[in-house]
Amino acid sequence: MRDHDSSLPLDNFLAKLDQRSATIGIVGLGYVGLPLLLRFADAGYKVLGLDVDRSKVDKFNRGRSYIEHISGQRIECARGGGAEASTDFSRAAEADALIICVPTPLNAYREPDLSYVLATVEALVPHMRTGQLLSLESTTYPGTTQEELLPRLQARGWTVGEDVFLVFSPEREDPGNPEFDTRTIPKICGGTTPACLQAGLALYRVAIDTVVPVSSTRAAELTKLLENIHRAVNIGLVNEMKIIADRMQIDIHEVIRAAATKPFGFTAYFPGPGLGGHCIPIDPFYLTWKARQFGLHTRFIELAGEINSDMPKWVVDKVGEALNQRGLAIKGSKILVLGIAYKRNVDDMRESPSVQLMELLRSKGAEVAYSDPHVPHFPDMREHHFDLDSVDLSAATVAEFDVVLLATDHTAFDYPMILGSAQMIVDTRGVYRDQATNVVHA
For the annotated catalytic residues, the residue numbers are: 279
DSSP code of 371? E
C-alpha to C-alpha distance for 371 and 432, rounded to whole angstroms? 18
Amino acid, res. 1: M
Q: Concatenated DSSP letters for 228-246?
A: HHHHHHHHHHHHHHHHHHH
Phi then psi for residue 389, to 5 deg, are -110, 155
Residue 221 Rama label (left phi>0; alpha psi -120 to 50; beta):
alpha
Taking CA atoms, 414 is separated from 178, 214, 276, 322, in Å, by: 22, 47, 23, 22
**Cβ neighbours of residue 215 closer than 8 Å, sequence gap 6 or more:** 190
Closest Cα to residue 442, out of 253, 235, 232, 306? 253
CB-side exposure of 220: number of CA atoms within 13 Å?
32
Phi then psi for residue 400, to 5 deg, are -75, -20
Alpha carbon 370 to chain centroid distance?
A: 22
Phi then psi for residue 190, to 5 deg, are -125, 140
